[in-house]
Amino acid sequence: MKHRITAALERFSRAMLAPLSYLSAAGLLLVVGALLTSAPLAGVLPFLRWEPVQLAGGIIYKCLTAVISNLSVLFCTGLAAALAKREKHQAAFIALMSYLVYLTAGNVTLTELGLLAQPDALTGLYSAGQTMVLGIQTVDTGVFGGILLGLLTAFVYDRTCEKAHRGILGGVFSGARWSFACMAALAAVLGSGACFVWPPIQKAIAAVTGFIAASGNIGLFLYGFLERLLIPTGLHHLVYMPFQFSQLGGQLMVGSVTYTGAYVVMMTEYNLGLPFSDGIVWMYTGFTKTFGYFGIAAAFIFCARRGSRKKTALQLLPLAFTASLASITEPLDFLFCFSAPVLWLAHAAISGSFIVLLHLCGVTAFTSNLLGSLVMNLSAGAARTNYPVLYLLGLAQIAVYFVVFTVLIKALDLPTPGRRPEEPSRPEKALPLDEQGVEKLIAAFGGRENIRTVDNCFTRLRVTVNDPAFVKEQALKALPCSGVVQSGCDVQIVYGIRAPEVRQAVERRLNRVVC
């Protein structure tokens, strides 16, 4: 039972990355639009006042705002496509139609019961617990409504998409159309039921938010600690997502529009030139990625054997820059999280502590990655972000990591990179994606008959096997990868940013459809 629950959580966690993977690009484009239409910046750079530039900036800004303001739609379609086992495009299409049914059912129920709120001049629909989604006013379930519909669509679709009916209606309600009919009925019930069930939940969420706020710095420490600690399990997404994309991360009212979640609120405040609210602390998970990994790499290099320091530096410095510039930390994480777990605990503790320090020092700056945060902090200004303190704390974190890791490594004689007595040489080049290279990978999983599902997240190839006894762990570790994690039937291999490419190559070799 425990393994099944863990496997289900891991699958849900990686499915959530499908919609999340587009938000970084959307956020960056939104920043471009905001910069092009920024009045203060136009005062310094006169060419920004040119009408074509203003038009282009306005289009970019408004279009990307529409994307970020409709996260529930993205989660609904993205989850359905990620979790469906076949014809993923059909599942996504059914999810979108079902979500429209869900929204409309809620609107009709509120209207018939006389509960449809009128926007308040000051608070809009926020005080009534309602919102506008795709032009439809309904109960404000935030991203949870989209997530629920996405999960249900994948579940129902996989079990009904091959159903064939006979008779007159057989040609209409068969296959994917039968899946939609089932989901439409379910979505209508859920949309109507949300009008009765969700208001008490809204009150409970408000109470949880109050509890977290009351926990103060202890809550912030645990937030940062767990977000790093759970990286090896792939479940860390479940820690930060509720705060960054739901009411737990705060809400902002602008006119009649309600923005929910720390990420959306932060981007809205940035674009409108508003002071940043306290909810920005939930976005500080990028701080350690930006700075801390330089300290980790420096400690490993310093503690390496004299003859191995140059080789260790060549191995680790690119990984530290990848963490800082691309927020991809797993290639470096897997070099010590299992071989030196005491360092991993220290790593999580330092990360959580610095989130608390950022809050105590009144920092309200961007911490996404080194270049992105630098551009956004400079454009927002020191008065709004207090970014000079951010970068001073960043340097301090590098020093803390270096000192703590160096002391622990030498005191406990930990087997970190460059110190292992007999380190097996790992292949330098990337996994060849030709037939021979992919066949080696498939064989290491126990052959194609042993492979049940193939998936990936940002940096990991995730494979579910039928029998873990047939998995050749040593053969997997001999491949050019950054790490291998096996938990029962679930196997994860860290490939970095090439993970999607490797998945596609494996699926092509298995004669499966790549969606």
Given pLDDT bands bounded at 50, 70 and 90, which one contains residue 395? very high
Given pLDDT bands bounded at 50, 70 and 90, which one contains residue 210? low
Per-residue three-class SS string for 475-490: HHHCCCCCEEEEECCE
Q: Which of the pair, 424 or 307, is modelled with greater confidence?
A: 307
Nearest CA to 219 out of 229, 208, 230 is that of 208
Residue 126 has what pLDDT?
62
The residue assigned the tokens 């997240």 is 457
Poorest-pLDDT segment among 44-53, 73-82, 159-168:
159-168
Strand (E) or helix (H) holding 436: helix 435-444
Q: What residues are paired with 133 via a beta bridge?
A: 136
195 flagged as catalytic: no
What's the average model confidence in pLDDT over 309-330? 82
What's the average model confidence in pLDDT over 114-128? 70
Q: Which of the pair, 294 or 418, is modelled with greater confidence?
A: 294
Q: Which of the pair, 37 or 214, is modelled with greater confidence?
A: 37
Given pLDDT bands bounded at 50, 70 and 90, which one contains residue 296? very high
Residue 281 has what pLDDT?
92
Instruction: Give residue-wise pLDDT tens across range 246-284.
Output: 777 888 888 777 888 888 899 899 888 899 988 899 999
Is 50 exceeded by the pLDDT of residue 230? yes
Residue 386 has what pLDDT?
94
What's the average model confidence in pLDDT over 203-227? 75
What's the average model confidence in pLDDT over 413-432? 61
Strands 257-260 and 130-133: unpaired
Residue 425 has what pLDDT?
44
CB-based contacts of 89, cutoff 8 Å, min separation 6: 81, 515
Given pLDDT bands bounded at 50, 70 and 90, which one contains residue 235? low
What's the average model confidence in pLDDT over 329-356? 88
Instruction: Give residue-wise pLDDT tens across range 270-280.
Output: 888 899 988 89
Is 70 exceeded by the pLDDT of residue 89? yes
Is 90 exceeded by the pLDDT of residue 185? yes
Contact in structure between 245 and 263 (CB atoms under 8 Å): yes
Instruction: Give residue-wise pLDDT tens across range 19-55.
Output: 766 765 676 677 788 778 876 677 778 888 888 989 9
Is 60 exceeded by the pLDDT of residue 110? yes
Nearest CA to 338 out of 448, 482, 178, 130 is that of 482
Residue 363 has what pLDDT?
94
List the domains of the chain with CATH numbers.
2-278 (no CATH), 284-412 (no CATH), 435-509 (3.30.1360.60)
Per-residue three-class SS string for 173-234: CCCHHHHHHHHHHHHHHHHHHHHHHHHHHHHHHHHHHHHHHHHHHHHHHHHHHHHHHCHHHC
Poorest-pLDDT segment among 216-225, 250-259, 293-302, 427-436:
427-436
Q: Which of the pair, 394 or 485, is modelled with greater confidence?
A: 394
Residue 184 and residue 247: Cα distance in Å, rounded?
Answer: 27
| Full DSSP string of 315-333 | HHHHHHHHHHHH---HHHH
Q: Catalytic pick from 161, 457, 481, 489? A: 457
Nearest CA to 93 out of 188, 164, 161, 25 is that of 161
Is 70 exceeded by the pLDDT of residue 423? no
Whether the model clears a pTM of 0.85, i.e. scores above it, the answer is no
Contact in structure between 364 and 386 (CB atoms under 8 Å): yes
Residues 258-269, buried b or exposed e (16+ Cβ, 10 A)? Answer: bbbbbbbbbbbb
Residue 33 and residue 306: Cα distance in Å, rounded?
Answer: 50
**CA 299 to chain CA mean position, Å:** 29
Residues 138-150, buried b or exposed e (16+ Cβ, 10 A)? Answer: bbbbbbbbbbbbb
Given pLDDT bands bounded at 50, 70 and 90, which one contains residue 211? low
Question: Per mean pLDDT, which of 174-188, 315-329, 489-503 is the most reliable?
Answer: 174-188
Given pLDDT bands bounded at 50, 70 and 90, which one contains residue 427? very low
Is 80 exceeded by the pLDDT of residue 444? yes
Question: Per mean pLDDT, which of 128-132, 323-327, 366-370, 482-486 is the most reliable?
Answer: 366-370
Torsion of CA 245, 125, 74, 232, to 10 degrees: 10
Poorest-pLDDT segment among 54-63, 88-97, 113-122, 434-443:
113-122
The residue assigned the tokens 């070799």 is 509
Q: What is the average pLDDT score of the chain?
A: 82
Q: Is the dihedral of CA 273, 279, 284, 286 positive or negative?
A: negative
Is 70 exceeded by the pLDDT of residue 399? yes
Residue 431 has what pLDDT?
57
Is 50 exceeded by the pLDDT of residue 122? no
Residue 258 has what pLDDT?
82
